[in-house]
Structure 1
Amino acid sequence: MRIMPELRKSFGGSGRSITLEQLEDRIVLDGAVADAQDVQDAGTDTGTVDSLGWVYVDNGWWQEDNGSGWWWDQSSGWFWNQNTGWWVQNSGGFAYWYHGLHQYWAQETSTGNWFWWDDISDQTWEPAFAWFADQVNSQWMWAYNDSTGSSYYADELNYFYQDHTDGQWYWHDDVNENGWELAFTWFVDDYGVMVYNDWHSSEYIWGNNFHYTQQHTSSYVNEAPIVMVPGAQTVNENTSLHIPAIYVYDVDSITDEIQITLSVSHGTLSLASTTGLYFLTGDGTQDAQMVFLGSWTELNAVLHDVTYSPGLNYHGSDTLSIVVNDLGCAGSGGAQSTSQTVFINVLDV
């Protein structure tokens, strides 16, 4: 029998009286017991003489013979229910409930207040089902222990939850998603981006070794989008060039539309697909300049397949210009934009 830590409390009260007597070749508990909570059933079994229905089995163990599943260990004072797996004991003014790892609870009889034994981090009794102040990661936060996990809240940017079953942490993303995400471990989000949420920042890795870190404290300020482009390109005169993948990312936009402007000076540009795009200039086919709107996931899908065609018989240098404008979709500071260029050398053949 595992010995559990108990909450300590001054307690005074009368002792309880239990009498054992021999009836019908078995030992039973007499009905005169001061504390009815310890015997669970104060009723009389029909047709029997043992009014409490407890039968001595072996080695200090008693069983309630009405099918309830309750057993009682005489030496420790713990009750065990074989149907639910719960252990129960009344001691020192508390009712203790135990159901294995991370599931050890105590309820104070006089106040009804609950406590949880924190065997995950602090190894101590903590209030349960009520908010209380606790120090987490060298920061004071409000904590709340429920039947499945612990919540930690400092403000809307610092709100975490730890699952008691597997120890997994979660962070409430009030910066971008307004929902719960995994914390302190890498995961892939709904947009194919690898994400790592720490206490005060989030890291994002996506595409062609794209890496970005966002501080949670910057959530109220609109951050500029990011563009990644390939290096200089070379193509023969009168020959089309497939531009390697162009990546755009805006941590603030999520599903909101942002604006892309593509332009060249000595040729045209074409997109293999225009799905989900709304064009302000051009139509995505043989345009010297095109301006279109879409979510950043839609934009990246089409920017993976951009074709440059130099003007007829043109040779020399050209430049693909990419301008990304987030249209001020989130945070203060208004619209933010970023631009990049790809140098193109058209060879004379």
Structure 2
Amino acid sequence: LPLLLAVFALVSAPLRGDKALFALLAFLALLVAMGTPLNRLLFYAVPGYASLANPARVLGVWAFAVAALAAFGAQSLLDNKIAPATKTRGAAIALATVLLVAAWGASGAAAWAGDAVAQVPFTDLMTQATPGLMVAALLLTLSVGLLFIAPGMVAKKPASSAALLLGMILLVVADLALWGYNYNPSSKPERVYPVTPGIAWLQKNAPDARIAVINRDWTLGQTAPKYAAFPPNALTVYALHDISGYDSLFPKASKELVRAAGGGEETSPAANGNMVFVKQLETARNLGARYIVLAGDSPVDTTGYAEAYRGDDLLILESGVPGEPVIAPPSVPGSLRIGIGLAMLAGLTLAGGIALQARKPS
């Protein structure tokens, strides 16, 4: 429904003022997310933009703009000053636009799935997607029905606007609830993060110590990476202090510190640039880790390190260094430029919005 209302807003009434601002914002955000030349312009011209990594994150801005346009669309749909014929024509254009875009996206997704998930037959993928597609078809039918019924109802009985608005709200809530319910399956914490003997040893003997987990590689598929002990940040669940990390907003200074401690070796695996690994025993020692954790079957040469615990689950070594890094954090002069650039971008956006608001007729 929000997409239908957003397109309806663009075609049912003149495009000006705030509506034009949000339409432009949605259009630009979509261009950036799709990797058009605009993305390249921002990459080289805006300080710090290159550090934002995946341009698809701008789809958050797109969703915000579409939500605003949907509100304008709902306002136009319930506006008695707009002729029912104009509303019906706008509803037809909105439906055709959304269906064409959906068909284009589905065909592209089908082609992508054939290459990306080649080991799974496409019919199996469709079988898995069928329940979701049925929900989408039901929501689309209800949304289209509301969009085409509303013009006549408002014209004959203006008081019905409140009921129609309530229907729109319920449809949007149903959309979010049906898609979001059980999207991330839940489970008891102890089933996802069991306390193994090695973890129990760490909780008892190293509750406040720096701990470095040695990981060399990561995978995106069903096959577990070789000799992986813990995913980054997993120790946090057990109230333990992990030097490695996993965050799309990981501070550059922290990542550079780990890189410097490892002699310049890249800290992130090819599968996921948001992960920061401690890959070598010496790296852990340079970072001031008191304990170093490896997989129980790890082939790493541990000569020169005292063994604190050995089990089928983990191998825990003592580094023999104090709990502070033995190297100084590198300076990151670009961080100031990133902050200034983002502040200037925010200022320009605010100034543009104020200018548009000032031009509105009183």
- TM-score tier, shorter chain, comes to under 0.3
More helix, by proportion: 2
Structure of greater Rg: 1
